[in-house]
Structure 1
Amino acid sequence: MSDVVYEAELVVGHKELVADGVLALTLRHPLGEPLPSWEPGAHIDVVLGPDLERQYSLCGDPADRDVWRIAVLREPDGRGGSAHVHEQLGPGDKVRVRGPRNHFRLEPAPRYRFIAGGIGITPVLPMLAAAEAAGAEWTLLYGGRTRRSMAFVEELARYGDRVTIAPQDETGLLDLAPVLGDGDTLVYCCGPGPLLDAVEELCPAGVLRVERFQPKEQPAGEDGEFEVELAQSGRTLTVVPGVSVLDTVRAAGIEVLYSCTEGTCGTCETDVLDGTPEHRDSVLTKEEQESGETMMICVSRCRGRRLVLDL
């Protein structure tokens, strides 16, 4: 489990419209202190107000400790986070930030195939630079609704024909099959759910790494009552049907970190000391879920009658 190592109020610096409906902004420490280091694939939690907290991928240069860069898509039918960033945050404003946290790390490989849809380009951008620096072979297939809606296209031009820009209104749906590799080619994909589902269906086993902005549809699972023993506090709580482990723990007065409550951000990841979780998150890989070492307590439950958690 990754520990949160940093929380601070940062100052909004540069703010720029980088595509239709997409704002990029930088964040810096108000006293000029260096920000924590991070690796490609990392995201931060941005606290925009009471009960308004969102996760955004870092899409700048990991070597630049002076600023963090994020990009935010304006979602007209969203829950208010993107509207707040677009309409209310401006240069000089302060915003509380936690992280960075990373469940989408770039693993060493001789070859990569990157696939991004829309705002899913954000975690992929620093991965390209890292793959380039490592001397790996790589390509990027980047799709969007229109060319004007696709952020950072000009920035990607320096990579030449290794990058394929494929706006849907010009080229149709992404042609995925030709770009998916073999067993020693890792595939990294981020974007809307239907794109990730299509890539998962076509990809060879074991080579795909994805990050979801929305929770993956989960099969129906057990929703019965079970007990949770909290090893650190020495308490045992009953989790009833329809109530999450997270809500049960918080109702007992125990403070835990959480954010999305949908199983997509990884903030509430908790070590499992005994028992078998029933995973309902969209963060852990199949192998990580099968190991049963951690769980996202905002959505996952128990296969059986009892869990022991490191809380």
Structure 2
Amino acid sequence: MIDAPRDLRGRPRGDRALGLIGLVVGNYLGAMSRVPYDPRVALRPPDTAATLTVASVTPVTSDGDVAQIDLVDAGGSSLPAWQPGCHIDVHLEGDTTSGPLRRQYSLCGDPADTTRYRIAVRRIGTVSERMHALRAGDTVTVRGPRNAFLFARESSVHFVAGGIGITPILPMVRAARDLGLDWTFVYCGRSRESMPFLDEIESWNSPRVVVRTDVDDGLPTATDLLGFAARGGAVYCCGPTPMLNTVRTSFAGCGATALHFERFGAPPVVGGRPFTVTLARSGRTLTVPADRSALSVIVDEDPTVAYSCRQGFCGTCKVRVLAGTPEHRETRLSPTEQQHHMLPCVSRADSDHLTLDV
């Protein structure tokens, strides 16, 4: 069992009156935040493409590896509203044969500011290099916002973020502060130089916040990550796979009752077996090992293949199956769609071979 102190200094968590107020506010706003997104009352449906203009590109880590990018409507119009946890899909033009590149980025600005969408991008590959190369006045195509990581605003909530996983968590922490909820926050990174928005977070000067670095403190343990979670409360976590694994496997001992998390990397493949996949448009046949996704192998061959979440919920990588039998490991596609399509980010093959319309 993880025996958590009642706050970061071991003190009681506020008086009873404030606790009751927080409970009422949290329950009300939590219910409101669970109302499904209705495109009929939005400024545009989330699947409708919009061309936005880059307003600024600003480094937000001292090592320069994370850039904050603000996107606005060129005519000054308001953008569709969003809530903490929302993301947008950004489309960049590819070469003449491969089509657009699409990636998913969490919104990390202020939901009350409808003049801009703010994202943060860590430089880790070809697409992120393209994003870092954007300059004010450039345009990108955007779809969304969508929310697959809904913040329910429980009255007692503990946040855990690792590295670039801060992007969906930061608006949630700000909301918890503004609403007067009972909250705590552990923020981890390799080093202070690599941690986005650290200046803002430390400017709060709050005893509710713990900042840890691998360089100074070592790799975080389950107690480091979950030791301040309130009994009966909720935990929100976004970070690298080892962090998520630690939180998930240790959660039962922390006393909290609700765990919400979002990956920014692909989940490990469990129970896979090898198969081959033929890309119909190029004629290339590739081997998918037991411990890799079909998408990861395909992207090695063609880095411009469209994908986003890599977890089977966004549908961006949906592809037509021309031959073979998929093993569907997602719940996004309808039974009718599954007859002829698959999501190669998580789904595999029930047959020894697949031919895909890629």
What's the TM-score bracket when you normalise by the shorter of the two chains? 0.7 to 0.9
Correspondences of 1:264-275 after superposition (within 5 Å): 266-268=314-316
1:169 aligns with 2:215: yes
Cross-structure match for 2:105: 56
Select 1:45's aligned residue among 73, 89, 113: 89
Q: Match for 2:69: what amino acid?
A: L
1:199 to 235, 242, 247: 247
| 1:251 corresponds to | none
Per the alignment, do residues 118 and 14 of structure 1 end up closer, same or farther by CA in structure 2, a change over 3 Å counting? Answer: same
User: Between Structure 1 and Structure 2, which shows a larger proportion of strand residues?
Assistant: 1
**Separation in 1, partners of 2:313, 2:74:** 26
Question: 1:264 Cα deviation (Å)?
Answer: 5.4
What is the CA–CA distance in structure 1 between the aligned matches of 2:161 and 2:329, rounded to whole Å?
A: 24
Contact 1:188 1:210 in 2 (8 A): yes
SS in 2 for 1:173: coil
Taking the aligned partners of 1:8 and 1:59, their CA distance within structure 2 comes to 19
CA contact 2:240–2:265 (8 Å) conserved in 1: yes
Q: Distance in 2 between matches of 1:268 and 1:14?
A: 27
Per-residue Cα deviation, 1:152-208 (whole angstroms, up to 9, x for no partner): 111112151211111111111123325533662111111111111111111128621
Alpha-carbon shift at residue 221 of structure 1 (Å): 5.5
Is the counterpart of residue 184 in structure 1 residue 229 in structure 2? Answer: no
Identify the match of residue 27 of structure 1 among 71, 78, 91: 71
Pairing 1:12–2:57 present: no
Structure 1 residue 218: Cα displacement: 2.7
1:72 corresponds in structure 2 to 121
Distance in structure 2 (CA, Å) of the matches to 1:11 and 1:138: 36
Deviation at 1:145, TM superposition (A): 0.8
- Matching residue of 1:107: 152
How far apart are the structure 2 equivalents of 1:261 and 1:71? 16
Structure 1 residues 11 and 219: CA distance shift in structure 2, 3 A: same
Shift of 1:209: 1.0
Q: Match for residue 4 of structure 2?
A: none
Aligned pairs, how many?
A: 258
- Give the 5 Å matches for 1:76-95: 78=125, 80-86=126-132, 88-95=133-140
1:229 corresponds in structure 2 to none
Match of 1:235? Answer: none
Question: Deviation at 1:132?
Answer: 1.9
Partner of 2:29: none
Counterpart-to-counterpart distance in 1, 2:179 and 2:317: 30
Instruction: Report Cα offsets for 1:5-58 as digits up to 9, x if no partner.
Output: 542110001211110211001000011110000010111101122342111110
Q: Please tell me whether Structure 1 or Structure 2 has the larger radius of gyration of its CA atoms.
A: 2
Q: Which runs of 5+ in 1 are unaligned?
A: 225-241, 248-257, 271-276, 305-311
Q: Distance in 2 between matches of 1:266 and 1:172?
A: 35
Alpha-carbon distance in structure 1 between the residues aligned to 2:219 and 2:92: 35
Structure 1 segments (4+ residues) deviating >6 Å = none
> Hey, what does 1:142 align to over in structure 2?
187
Q: How far apart, CA to CA, are the structure 2 residues paired with 1:169 and 1:301?
A: 37
Where do 1:147-162 residues align within 5 Å?
A: 147-156=192-201, 157-158=203-204, 160-162=206-208
Amino acid at match of 2:149: F
| Residue number in structure 2 paired with 1:274 | none
The alpha-carbon distance between structure 1 residues 178 and 111, as it changes in their structure 2 partners (threshold 3 A), is farther
Contact 1:223 1:301 (8 Å CA) reproduced: no
TM-score, normalized by length of structure 2?
A: 0.63
Tell whether the 8 Å contact from 1:215 to 1:264 is kept in structure 2 after alignment: no
Identity of aligned residues (%): 38
- Give distance in 2, aligned partners of 1:71 and 1:147: 17
- Shift, 1:262, TM fit: 2.9
Distance 1:297 1:185, change over 3 A: farther
